Structure 1
Amino acid sequence: MNTAYACAHYRNETRHAILSWKDHNDEECDTIFATALADLAIRCKAITSTTPITLVPAPSSRSSMIHRGRWHMRQVANATAHSLNTRGYTATVQPVLRTANIAAKSVEVTNATQRNIRISGNIIVTNPAQCNNRNIIILDDIITTGATMRQCIAALNNAGAHVITALALASVEKPVSEPHEIDEQYENSLTSREIDLLHDEAM
């Protein structure tokens, strides 16, 4: 895997929508974000109608799940699979990645090397048999330095999976050693839909 893809840059309305979704439990965003990821998977040709795909959500730390009350990317992964399946693709979800002993938030560490050191060895595959020899797409909310993605990819590859690509809702605008691309065509429509949703919630 050489490239990861994001629906939008992590800024302005997109940033506000993602933070509101994560920190205020805006579950109604799940379907909208899942549709965005499904569209992105099709647009970047990560999935075809003839090859089954397994979606693997990036892990959340135990403290994050306790604080927020749920594993938000797992719910989005389920909704993304549903969106793809209704369009004639074959997608399943295997939430097999877990973290341990990760104290700091991703956005608090800006150096990719520091972040790799911080999480090295702390992302594990709980059931390798569920991803062995499967075509995998990793789903995450935000790409910062790309370090988490690389650790997820390494863990899945060690378990015998074939990681096709990684998709994220947004990407922080900074250079990373693992390149990622922004779906500029989709960014505007994603942002406008999030603005509408947030406006409706405020009414």
Structure 2
Amino acid sequence: MAGTLKGKKVAILVANEGIEQVELTEPRKALEEAGATVALLAPESGEAQAFDHLDKAGRFPVDGAVGDADPADYDAVMLPGGVANPDNLRTHPEAVKFVRAFFDAGKPVAAICHAPWTLVEADVVRDRKLTSWPSLRTDIRNAGGQWVDEEVVVDAGPPTLVTSRKPDDLPAFNAKMIEEFAEGRHEGSKPSERFAKEGASAKA
């Protein structure tokens, strides 16, 4: 897959603490090996603390604060998991707004493990098929999504959404993420437009 993403710029969005390290390092390595330019964004500049399950692991320099980042500068966004990471991230309006912008623009998104919590907060899982760590199943269903227990799930959208359940799924997740990020933006109605139409239909 070397060179597949040459010329693409991908954001990896994390909280400043609580990321599952392997779900950050392995996708980033795969993206960079495919030729992408990758930026690590977080609510605050400085560093992000990763974990190996419940134990502190590495610290990673943050390339920029998400509140200062323009989604238009990126071709895709990837969201790592870790229990505390997305639970923290979804409390930052600027991070939620950043994620929602990719759905509105039809740009591909990839999320693994607990990361769909942030997608639920952004109200972008409605009528979408996705997977996650099993404990998010009810949250996703309550937000209007279709949860399935599969290694990797691709919802064509638009935009395309790639999800997986856990670190063991990373090889399949990374492969599909790169494939869909390479295809790029898919034209079609924005989620916000679909929600508006659904609301109008419900009122009719």
Write 1 or 2 for the structure with the bigger share of helix: 1
Bigger relative CO (Cα 8 Å, ≥ 6 apart): 1
Same fold, judged at TM 0.5 (above): no
* Superposition TM-score, scaled by structure 1 size: 0.36
- Could you state the TM-score of these two structures normalised by the residue count of structure 2? 0.36
